[in-house]
Amino acid sequence: MNADTSMTVIKLDQISKRYGSKEALSHATLEVPAGTVFAVLGENGAGKTTMIRILTGYLKPDSGTATVLGMNCEQQSLEIRRRIGYVSDSPALYEWMKPEEIGWFTSAFYGPGFPEAYLSLLAEFDVPTGIKIKSLSKGQRAKVALALATAHDPELLILDEPTSGLDPMVRRHFLESMVKRAASGRTVLLSSHQISEVERVADWVAIVHAGKVKIVQRLEDLKSSTCIVTATLDHSDAAYPLPPGNVLTEASNARQIRWVVMNLDDQAMDGFRNQPCFAHVVVTSPTLEDIFVAVCDHRATRPRSYHDESRTQEVAS
C-alpha cells in the first residue's frame, strides 16, 4: 500500500454511548490513518453500528469527541455525509424506482458528474437497470447501494457489514474494490464479523468487545506480536509456569496446554522451554481468528497474570 498514511481521517476520542442501562460504547478511542482499509471487528452487539452511526452524525454520543475529515460529527454531520460514502447495514432504497432513477434522484445531493459515474459503476457491477429496485436480488441491491455511495469518489467510504448475505463472487468483487480504493489514497472503514475476509483486505484492525476498543493495531503488527505457545507436560498433574509475555488465554487438554500470548519475551523463552515440567514446547503464529477469540471469548480461561485492559493505539506512521 503506497498511500500517504500520515494523515488521520477519523478520530474517536473517549466516545461513550448508552441506550438506557445498556452501555453500547465505553470510552472508545481510535484513529484511522488515510489510505488504509481499516476494519472494525466485533461480535454481535459489540458496538460497531453505534460507532458508525456516531461517525456519520445519525447518533449523538453521550460524551467524547468524534471527527471525520477534520469535521465534528455532531456539528458538521451534513457536510460529512456530503464528503464521505456510507452504506449502512440495511441500506434503504426507494423500492419503486429503477436503479438509474435513484441515481438521478441522489445526484441532487452531490452535483455534476455523479449520474455518469454512478451509471458506469452499475455497468461495471453488472446491475440490470431496467427493472425496479424491489425486483433486484439482495446482492444487486447491495451493488446499487455501493455505487450510490462511491459515485462521487469519496475520500472516505464507511461500510457497515458490507458483505453480509452476499455470494462469494460478489464479496470478492466488493473486497477487491475496497483494496483498490485504499491503494489510490482513499480510506475505507468497514465493520465486520467476517474475520477471514478482514484478514485478506485490512491494513488496520480495531477489535471491539462489549463496547470497548480492546485492540487497535496495524494487522501485520498485531499478528507478528501475538503467538500461540503449546506445551506438552511431562506428566498430567505437573505444576507449570505461564509463558513470558501478556498471556491472553489458556486452554488445556490432558497433558497439552495452549496459550495465546502477546509480546512474548523471546529472551526469557529459553528458560521457559527448559522447565522440567515440560516434555515439549512449540511456538506458532496465530490467525486473526485465534487473536479475536482470545480477546473476545467470554468463556475463555484467563490466566492469573491477565489484565483486562483496553490497549492503546500505536502511533500511525
Ligand X SMILES: Nc1ncnc2c1ncn2[C@@H]1O[C@H](COP(=O)(O)OP(=O)(O)OP(=O)(O)O)[C@@H](O)[C@H]1O
Binding site for ligand X (CB under 6 A): 19, 22, 24, 42, 44-50, 89, 193
CB of 197 to ligand X, least distance (A): 14
CB of 134 to ligand X, least distance (A): 24
Q: Evaluate whether 8 touches 316 at the Cβ level (below 8 Å).
A: yes
Q: Evaluate whether 78 touches 86 at the Cβ level (below 8 Å).
A: no
CB of 292 to ligand X, least distance (A): 13
CB of 228 to ligand X, least distance (A): 26
Using alpha carbons, select from 79, 106, 92 the residue that is nearest to residue 141.
92
Task: Give the nearer residue to ligand X in terms of CB position, either 161 or 290.
Answer: 161
Cβ-proximal residues to 224 (8 Å cutoff; 6+ apart), any chain:
none
Q: Evaluate whether 34 touches 185 at the Cβ level (below 8 Å).
A: yes
Which grid cell sits at 120? 458506469
Give the span between the Cα atoms of 220 and 134, in whole angstroms.
42
Task: Give the nearer residue to ligand X in terms of CB position, either 89 or 101.
Answer: 89
Query: Residue 30: beta bridge partners?
Result: 12
CB of 144 to ligand X, least distance (A): 21
Task: Give the nearer residue to ligand X in terms of CB position, either 211 or 286.
Answer: 211
Tracing cell 483486505 back to the chain, one arrives at: 201
Q: Evaluate whether 134 touches 95 at the Cβ level (below 8 Å).
A: yes
Task: Give the nearer residue to ligand X in terms of CB position, either 211 or 244.
Answer: 211
CB of 40 to ligand X, least distance (A): 8
Give the span between the Cα atoms of 243 and 309, in whole angstroms.
19
Task: Give the nearer residue to ligand X in terms of CB position, either 43 or 100.
Answer: 43
CB of 138 to ligand X, least distance (A): 17
Beta strands in 106-180 (DSSP E): 156-160
Q: Evaluate whether 300 touches 269 at the Cβ level (below 8 Å).
A: no
Task: Give the nearer residue to ligand X in terms of CB position, either 59 or 231.
Answer: 59
Type of residue numbered 17: K
CB of 41 to ligand X, least distance (A): 10
Task: Give the nearer residue to ligand X in terms of CB position, either 22 or 82.
Answer: 22
DSSP three-state, residue 41: strand
Taking the CA atoms of the chain, what radius of gyration do you get in angstroms? 22
Task: Give the nearer residue to ligand X in terms of CB position, either 74 or 89.
Answer: 89
DSSP three-state, residue 209: strand
